[in-house]
Each structure stands twice: as structure tokens, then as C-alpha cells.
């Protein structure tokens, strides 16, 4: 087990926009600003959560700004968008006749012509050039074995073209920005960093019934929040939990994949691991608050939301020193090598048994998580979008 200080986190990677009700009012954008709402037609994922949180908090910022013009801001959705997203100022509009990729690539560019189109879920219309697009990571280049062949082919084809066409790209960490530059998606000066927030679970009432449903005792289990993709690297945890030293602790895997899915991916789990499946935010909060720790062994992450979510709920964490995790977690987590099961055993036992280490990591984690607030992320995104809206329109 090793502990290390991550790189200094630049929480001012993009200048913040003027605060509503504070400094002089924000100038109105000279063009309509439209958000791509295709993600509301699918089952929620981590990327979709980021989009919903950013749009929701940006909408609240607009509602506080008396100078804002409601007609300038809209959320464009295909006809099959069924997920709710409460809005106060921004208008949700159902537009077009197509669905999914056809809607996004064929209809949406035409519908959004004349405006700035904001895409927050990696994909964007290839034909819309006045756009701001958030690309969360470069995983399709870094870990191609984690994806199906059609997904990989489409993303590897589309991402560089989206980068070339967009007025500005946004990503979630300095690490992701560096990788997007490395793989030729866009030049550095075209990519702004807007970190995720992690305060979304703070207002959720925990549902402790999940513990009895899964047969868990407080402080006697370890949470792993990941699927069976290879870069999530749960194989190292499965091996660690075969150690007799962890026999009194239960590994609880939260995510879409079950034991059979992991076995099929070449990562057979220990027989006593518990697979919780997808859980509600209320259940996730209860798991974090009662766990011995969160273990997060990914070999690469564009950001790494679960460790900070856990930190904000007083759940100490151990992570791999890979991807954006050192940048995001800093010195508020324990670190264990991604290929050494014994290091994970040692780190987990330190957080489960050593009261001094546990308290130190809990205190550092709460302080670290407090730095990542969705409102501040929304302010930075708003500034990026507003600056794009003020640029002269490119003419072919």
C-alpha cells in the first residue's frame, strides 16, 4: 500500500461567469443556446447524470439572473425522451420525428441552425459547427478492449471529427484533456476543463433497507462501484478478496453486471461476493455511509465520480494511482497498485481496522469532496458557452 499526493487540482481551469445577483448582470448571448437532450431518451448512466446536473444547475443560475431571456435557452429533445428533468427558465422542446442517432445526426443540426448547440454526452452532430461538446474521456483509444467493435468503430471515427467541427470542447479533468490532445481529437487551446460536481447525493435521504436486502452489516463490507469493462479492473479486487485476511469482509459490487457477466469477461468473482445491481441514489448513499470503505481500482478514468461521492458521505476510499484519480482524489484517499492484490488487502484493512488512518482519510475526503460543487461547474460551463455565443459566426 502506498499513499501519495496527487497533482495540484486546478479548480479554476475555466473562468467563472458573473454571479447572478452579485457583479453586473451577464450580457445576453447574441444567439440562442440549445442543449442536446438525446440522453433523456435512455436509461441513466454516469455520463447522463453529469449532463442532467449541469443543465439543472445552469438553469437555476439563469433563473436567478433577471437579465436572462427565457427564449434564448432551450433543451431540445427527441420525441422518445421520457426521462424527467425539472427546469425553471430553460424551455424543454420536443422536436423532430426521428430518434436516437438518426435524430442527433440528421435532424438536430437543422433544428439547431443559427444557435449554439451544447452536447454533454460525448457525441454531437458532425454537421453542426457552432457547438460546445463535452467529451468525458479518451477511453476508446486507451482501452479498446472495454468496448464492442461497433461502438469502438463509431467513436473512433466520430470523436476527431467532432473535435475538428466544434467551436469548443469541454472535458472533465486535466488528464482527459491531455489524452484528447495526445490522440488528436483537438488541440489543447480548444479544450476547456470543467470538473464534475459531487454534491448531488447530499440532499438524498438514505435508504438503509438495502443493507438487510443484501444481508450486510455496517462496517463489515467494502463497496466496489463498477461494471465488467476491463479498465474497471475488478479482477484485482476479486483476487484480493480471496485472501483469508479479508474473510470477515464482504465485497459488494454496485453496477449493471452480475457474477456471470464478470466471469464471461474473464474475471470470475469470489463465490461470496454480493452483486447489488443498479441501485437508487438513496440506497447508494446508505451503502457508502455504512461501508468499511470504497475500493476503486480502475486503470484509467476520465474523472472518477464514485470515490468523491463516497468521500462526501464520510466513506474512506482506496483507489489506483491511474488516470485522473490522483488529480481528483489528491491526498484524500489511500492508493494501491492496480496489479497487486496484496496492496489492496493492506489498504482495505487499514481503513477497516486502523481508527487513526480511517479518521484521517475521512476528514481529508470530506474536505476534498467539498471542492467539487455542481453550481461552480455550471458557472464554468456557462462561461464557456457564453464566450462561444459571442464569437462571430464562421462562414463557409
User: What is the 3-state secondary structure of 9-31?
Assistant: CCCCCCCCCCCCCCCCCCCCCCC
Task: Give the integer Cα–Cα distance in Å for 23 and 34.
Answer: 25
245's CB contacts (< 8 A; 6+ apart) are 345, 349
366's CB contacts (< 8 A; 6+ apart) are 311, 312, 314
227's CB contacts (< 8 A; 6+ apart) are 255, 256, 257, 261
DSSP string, 352-365: HH-HHHHHHHHHHH
Q: What's the whole-model pTM score?
A: 0.89
Residue 65 is predicted with a pLDDT of 74
Q: Can you list the residues of the chain whose pLDDT is less than 50?
A: 1-8, 12-27, 396
Nearest alpha carbon to residue 327 among 304, 306, 348, 309 = 304
Residue 45 is predicted with a pLDDT of 87
173 within 8 A of 195, measured Cβ to Cβ: yes
Residue extents of the structural domains in the chain: 33-197+373-390, 201-369
Q: Bridge partners of 294? A: 223, 317
Nearest alpha carbon to residue 237 among 271, 259, 261, 269 = 269
Task: Give the integer Cα–Cα distance in Å for 378 and 170.
Answer: 12
For residue 43, report the phi and psi dihedrals to the nearest 5 degrees.
-65, 135
Q: Please indicate whether the domains covering 33-197+373-390 and 201-369 agree at the CATH topology level.
A: yes
Residue 25 is predicted with a pLDDT of 45
Task: Give the integer Cα–Cα distance in Å for 333 and 30.
Answer: 45
Task: Give the integer Cα–Cα distance in Å for 362 and 317.
Answer: 8
Residue 211 is predicted with a pLDDT of 98
Output the furthest CA–CA distance in the chain (Å, rounded): 67
Q: Was domain 201-369 assigned CATH 3.40.50.2000?
A: yes
Residue 72 is predicted with a pLDDT of 87
377 within 8 A of 13, measured Cβ to Cβ: no
Task: Give the integer Cα–Cα distance in Å for 134 and 124.
Answer: 9
Q: Was domain 33-197+373-390 assigned CATH 3.40.50.1820?
A: no
33's CB contacts (< 8 A; 6+ apart) are 72, 73, 74, 115, 116, 118, 385, 389
Residue 12 is predicted with a pLDDT of 47
Question: Where do the DSSP E strands lie in the chain?
Answer: 33-36, 73-77, 91-94, 116-119, 131-134, 168-171, 191-193, 221-225, 250-254, 274-277, 293-296, 317-319, 334-335
Amino acid at each position: 500500500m502506498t499513499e501519495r499526493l496527487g497533482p495540484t487540482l486546478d479548480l479554476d481551469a475555466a473562468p467563472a461567469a458573473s454571479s447572478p445577483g452579485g457583479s453586473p448582470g451577464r450580457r445576453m448571448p447574441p444567439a440562442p443556446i440549445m442543449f442536446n437532450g438525446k440522453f433523456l431518451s435512455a436509461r441513466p448512466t454516469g455520463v447522463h447524470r453529469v449532463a442532467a446536473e449541469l443543465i439543472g444547475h445552469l438553469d437555476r443560475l439563469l433563473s436567478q439572473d433577471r437579465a436572462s431571456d427565457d427564449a434564448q435557452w432551450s433543451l431540445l429533445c427527441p420525441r422518445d425522451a421520457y426521462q424527467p428533468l425539472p427546469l425553471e427558465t430553460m424551455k424543454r422542446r420536443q422536436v423532430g420525428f426521428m430518434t436516437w442517432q438518426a435524430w442527433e445526426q440528421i435532424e438536430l443540426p437543422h433544428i439547431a441552425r443559427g444557435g449554439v448547440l451544447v452536447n454533454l454526452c460525448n457525441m454531437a452532430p458532425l454537421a453542426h459547427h457552432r457547438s460546445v461538446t463535452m467529451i468525458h474521456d479518451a477511453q476508446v483509444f486507451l482501452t479498446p478492449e472495454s468496448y464492442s467493435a461497433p461502438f469502438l468503430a463509431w467513436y473512433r471515427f466520430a470523436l476527431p471529427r467532432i473535435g475538428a467541427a466544434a467551436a469548443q470542447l469541454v472535458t472533465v479533468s486535466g488528464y482527459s484533456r491531455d489524452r484528447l490532445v495526445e490522440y488528436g481529437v483537438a488541440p489543447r487551446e480548444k479544450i476547456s476543463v470543467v470538473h464534475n460536481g459531487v454534491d448531488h447525493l447530499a440532499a438524498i435521504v438514505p435508504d438503509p433497507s438495502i443493507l438487510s436486502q443484501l444481508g450486510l452489516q455496517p462496517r463489515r463490507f467494502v463497496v466496489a462501484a463498477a461494471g465488467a469493462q476491463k479498465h474497471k479492473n475488478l479482477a484485482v479486487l476479486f483476487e484480493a478478496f480471496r485472501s483469508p485476511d479479508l474473510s470477515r469482509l464482504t465485497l459488494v459490487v454496485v453496477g449493471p453486471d452480475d457474477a456471470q457477466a464478470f466471469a464471461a469477461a474473464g474475471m470470475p468473482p469470489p463465490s461470496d461476493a454480493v452483486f447489488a445491481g443498479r441501485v437508487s441514489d438513496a440506497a447508494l448513499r446508505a451503502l457508502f455511509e455504512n461501508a468499511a470503505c470504497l475500493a476503486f481500482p480502475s486503470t484509467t478514468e476520465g474523472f472518477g465520480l464514485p470515490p468523491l461521492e463516497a468521500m462526501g458521505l464520510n466513506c474512506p476510499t482506496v483507489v489506483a494511482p491511474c488516470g485522473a484519480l490522483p488529480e481528483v482524489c489528491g491526498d484524500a484517499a489511500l492508493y494501491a497498485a492496480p496489479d497487486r492484490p496484496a496492496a489492496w488487502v493492506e489498504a482495505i484493512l487499514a481503513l477497516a481496522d486502523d481508527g487513526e488512518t480511517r479518521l484521517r482519510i475521512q476528514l481529508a475526503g470530506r474536505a476534498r469532496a467539498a471542492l467539487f460543487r455542481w453550481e461552480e461547474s455550471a458557472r464554468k460551463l456557462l462561461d464557456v458557452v457564453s464566450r462561444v455565443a459571442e464569437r462571430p459566426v464562421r462562414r463557409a
